[in-house]
Amino acid sequence: MPPKHTVLLQGPPIVIDAAPLTREAFAPFGDVVENPHPDLHPSVFAKDPSPLPFSAVSANQGSAIKYQHVSHQINLYNQARSGRPGSAIMSMFVCAARARVPDPHEEESAPAPAPTPTATPPRTETSPRQLPTTFPVIVLERHPFTTQTFIPLSKDPAAHYLVIVAPTLAATTTDSSTFAVPSQLPPSAKYPRPLPGAGLPDLSRLHAFVAGPGQAVTYGAGTWHAPMVALGETGTTAVDFVVVQFANGVGEEDCQEVLFERQGSEDAAAPVLVRLRPLQQGTEEGEMTRARL
C-alpha cells in the first residue's frame, strides 16, 4: 500500500458542482477518449475520406474508421528513485456505486410534524424543490511516473461515473523531499502537457466531471484525482473498467495519496463536497445526446 499523507483544512467545506465531461475542459488533466463523430458510418467515410480529427483513416477494408493516437501514454519510471523500471499492466476494476445522481422526477418530501399519542399521523406533503446529492472527497491520489486510462465496459446508457481532478500547487521543500516525482519529459516524448511537479493538490481549483459509458479517461502523469466513483443506486455494481497504466511495484512510486481533514471541526462533514444534479437527456434524430447537468 502507498504511504498516506494527511492535510488539515480550515473553514467550511469546499463545495463544487459537477459538469459534463468534455475533451476541452479535461485537457489540462488528461485525455477524454470518445468517438468524435458517432453519426458518421465507416462506409460513408470510406467513399469520401474528408479530414477528421486524430488523422483518421479508413481501415478494415472500409468497414472501420481508425482514429490515431487518441490518448497519450507515457512511462517515466526510468527517473524513479528506486531504479526499478515500470512495465505495462492491464487491470479490471469492478466498481460499486458510491454516489447517486438525483432523478429529475424525484420530489423532496417535506418533514412532517411529530405525531402526538392522540393525533392521527399527518400526511406527508411534497414539494417540487430538489436538493442535489453530494459526494464527499476525502482523498486524492496521483501516479507520478505513468498515465492511467480508465475504459468503461458498459452498454447501459444510464451508466455514469464521476471524474474528480485537481491542479498541483507549487512544491515546497518538504514536498520535494517527501514525494518522488519525475523531473522532466524525454526530448522525444510527444506529450501534450507539462509535468505537474511534487506539490500538493490545489483544492481551490478542483474540478468534477460526469462521464458517460461512451467516454474513457486518461489521467495525465502526476495528475491528482479521486479514486474512481461509479454513479448509481447504492449497493449496485454500476460500472466495470479496464485500466491501463505502467507500474514498478514500489508503492510510493506507483501511487501517492493525500487525505483531507477539517481542522478543529466538530461535525462530520467532509472537507470537500462535489454536488450532483439531475441529468437531463435530450434526443436528436432518435439518438441520445450526451448528458447535460
pLDDT attached to residue 10: 83
Q: By the 8 A CB rule, do 138 and 192 touch?
A: no
What would the DSSP string read from start to end of 52-101?
A: -GGG-EEETTTTEEE----S---B-GGG-TT-PPPEEEEEEEEEEEEE-P
pLDDT at position 267, please?
A: 55
**Structure confidence by residue, pLDDT tens digits, 103-123:** 776 544 444 444 444 444 444
Residues 6+ apart with CB under 8 A from 102: 130, 131, 132, 133, 276, 277, 278
Q: Which comes out higher in pLDDT, residue 127 or 80?
A: 80
The CATH architecture annotation of domain 4-32+74-106+134-185+195-282 reads Sandwich (2.60)
pLDDT attached to residue 132: 58
Chain mean pLDDT for the chain? 85
Quick one: average pLDDT of 265-279?
79
Q: Band the pLDDT of 264: cuts 50, 70, 90.
A: low
Cell numbers found for residue 37: 463523430
Q: What is the pLDDT of residues 18-40, one digit of tens each?
A: 999 999 999 999 999 999 999 99
Percent pLDDT > 90 in the chain is: 67
Q: Give the chain's largest Cα–Cα span.
A: 81
Q: How far apart are CA 282 and CA 293, in angstroms?
A: 12
Domain residue extents for the chain: 4-32+74-106+134-185+195-282
Cell of 118: 392522540
Average pLDDT over every residue of 267-277 = 83
Q: What is the pLDDT of residue 117?
A: 46
Quote the cell numbers at residue 194: 507539462
Mean predicted confidence (pLDDT) in 277-284: 61
Task: Give me the pLDDT at residue 232, please.
Answer: 86
| Residues contacting 6, CB < 8 A, separation 6+ | 258, 259, 260, 261
